Structures are given as structure tokens and as C-alpha cells.
């Protein structure tokens, strides 16, 4: 993935978190993780998972739900999926 694609992916993840968690863009930092914001609680996390499924047309299983708990983890998951 080149720099341009990485930037696009980061922007997409930011937009996804803003929409799912109903937070501002400024709140989405690269090291943001589950539990860092009141909005990213159990219900918020599942909103993120469902929006991820919708946007990227993927089926996320229980094992994956438990691992996608940070911006970095979501980014790595999507990059890996693109390479698959």
C-alpha cells in the first residue's frame, strides 16, 4: 500500500469512527482505542463493527470483534483484507 492509499485508508477509518461513535474528527487520533472515549464502549464498539461490515462488505466474526479494538488494529485488518 503506497502513501496515498494509506492516507485514504486513514481518512476512511476516521470517517467511520466519527459516524459510528458520533464523535468529532479531532477526537480520532492514531492511537485511539476502545475505552478511551465514553462513546467507544461496548455498544459503540458494536456500532463500529456493523458499520465496518456495511462499508467494506465483510463478515466480522466473534474472534475478530475482540481484536479490532483500536484505530491501528482496524487499519491493519483492512490492509490485510485488501492484500488477501
Partner 1 sequence: MPEFTYEFTTSEVVPEFLVGEVQSKLAYVDEDINKATVSPAGDRITLHLRQSPDKLRLAELEEKTQRVVLSMVKGAYKPKVQVLEDHLDRPIPYNLDPHIELAARGEISQETQGVFALGPLVSRLINYFERRFLELADSFEAAPYRFPTLIPARYLERVKYFQAFPHSLTFATHLREDLDAIDHFAQNAACQHDGALTVPLDTFSPIQTLLSPAVCYHLYFALADQSLPQGKVVATAVGNCFRYESINLSSLERLWNFTMREVIFIGEKEFVLENREIARQRMSGVFEEIGLAYRVESANDPFFIGEFRKQAAFQSAFQLKFEIRARLPFKDSTLAVGSYNYHQDFFGRHLNMTLPDGSPAHTGCVAFGLERMAYAFLAQYGFDPRDWPAAFKEVGL
For partner 1, the closer of residues 2 and 59 by Cβ is 59
Establish if 19 lies at the interface with partner 1 (CB under 8 A): no
Task: Map the chain to HEC letters.
Answer: CCHHHHHHHHHHHHHHHHHHHCCCHHHCCCCCECCCCCCCCHHHHHHHHHHHHHHHCCCCCHHHHCCCCEHHHHHHHHHHHHHC
Contact window for partner 1 (CB under 8 A) among 9-17, 22-30, 41-49, 73-81? 41-49
For partner 1, the closer of residues 63 and 80 by Cβ is 63
Single out the residue of 42, 57, 80, 83 in contact with partner 1 (rule: CB under 8 A): 42
Window 49-68: residues binding partner 1 (CB under 8 A): 49-50, 53, 60-63, 65-66
Amino acid at each position: 500500500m503506497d502513501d496515498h492509499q494509506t492516507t485514504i485508508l486513514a481518512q476512511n477509518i476516521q470517517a467511520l469512527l466519527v459516524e459510528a461513535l458520533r464523535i468529532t474528527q479531532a477526537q480520532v487520533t492514531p492511537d485511539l482505542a476502545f475505552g478511551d472515549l465514553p462513546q467507544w464502549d461496548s455498544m459503540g464498539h458494536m456500532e463500529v463493527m456493523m458499520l465496518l461490515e456495511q462499508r467494506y462488505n465483510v463478515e466480522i466474526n466473534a474472534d475478530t470483534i475482540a481484536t479490532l479494538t483500536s484505530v491501528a488494529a482496524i487499519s491493519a485488518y483492512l490492509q490485510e483484507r485488501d492484500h488477501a
